[in-house]
Amino acid sequence: MASGFHGMRVLVTGGAGFIGSNLALRLLEEGARVRVVDDLSTGRKENLGGHADELEFIEGDIRDGELLKKALRGVEAVFHQAALPSVPRSIEDPLASEQVNATGTLTLLLAARDAGVRRVVYASSSSIYGDSPTLPKVEDMPPDPKSPYALSKYSGERYCQLFTRLYGLEAVSLRYFNVFGPRQDPTSHYAAVIPRFIAGIMSGKGITIYGDGKQTRDFTYVENAVRANLKAALAPRAAGEVYNIACGESITVLELAEYLMRRMGREVDIEWAPPRPGEVRDSLASVTKAVEALGYHPEVDVWAGLDSTVEWFSRAG
């Protein structure tokens, strides 16, 4: 795959965030000339580690059309990771989610079209499926967003498809299922479950499980998501399409907690709390479409990914 990116100018929006920084660093390894745009509202420059001098960093907001003109100069492919994450945050502040995730994506697509960008790979979300009991989730199922976050992500997907049809901009949407791994922030009030659990076990303070713990998730190690982005940027007939990116297997939140406690050698108290509004009960993806069209394979399963993540957080202290 390395030859496909060597010397290519790419832009990673949200490139100082969790997934974006993992992706930016991998692109550097692949020989790409990497430019990052991030407003540092949820991302951190430290996520780029000692590689900041190897890429071009622009601090700014993806809703700023003039900034995007500069950021997109000479760019062939865009990896659009920038977003305001979190279902609970979107329920508290729906307008912010809409402005960043939907309007921000539209602003980026317009700027990419005008700059002559070849392809945009858009980070969408499994949350757009809603709470249909049908499993696994397949890309042609009717969307049923249950939160402003999910709706804003779906809006971004539809804009991507329209820009492919109307303007010839190649846009590919990847529906991420519960991505986790190194550089994920455990400290935010809106932190995802795996870094929260690891931090709570590591500190001995305990963990909180919302609901009965039997809700299921198709947790996806970040290396799989990064590999999917690279393949989506190069796959010849992917434009205008949507792909699930996951492992294709699910575990319960309680199984997750028990595994992490065994793996870290520490039993901690579990605080049980009411289910959070807008959150999906069960999640499991079919990845057949991504396997066939992109050559995507989830090479790191959830257990190996959890082991690597625990090791990374242990080293990071």
Query: How many Å is the Cα radius of gyration of the chain?
Result: 19
Res 120: pLDDT: 98
Indicate the pLDDT class of residue 3, thresholds 50, 70 and 90.
Answer: low
pLDDT digits (tens, 9 = 90+) for 48-96: 988 988 999 999 999 999 999 999 999 999 999 999 999 999 999 999 9
pLDDT at 2 over 60: no
Separation between Cα atoms, residue 219 and residue 184, nearest integer Å: 14
Which residues lie across from 36 on neighbouring strands?
12, 57
pLDDT digits (tens, 9 = 90+) for 242-277: 999 999 999 999 999 999 999 999 999 999 999 999
> How far lies 303's CA from each of 215, 217, 251, in Å?
18, 13, 10
Res 1: pLDDT: 47
Name the token pair of 248: 């294709």
CATH topology (fold) of 2-182+221-248+286-299? Rossmann fold (3.40.50)
In the block, which residue shows the tokens 């001098």? 53
Indicate the pLDDT class of residue 191, thresholds 50, 70 and 90.
Answer: confident
Name the token pair of 263: 């793996």
pLDDT digits (tens, 9 = 90+) for 211-238: 999 999 999 999 999 999 999 999 999 9
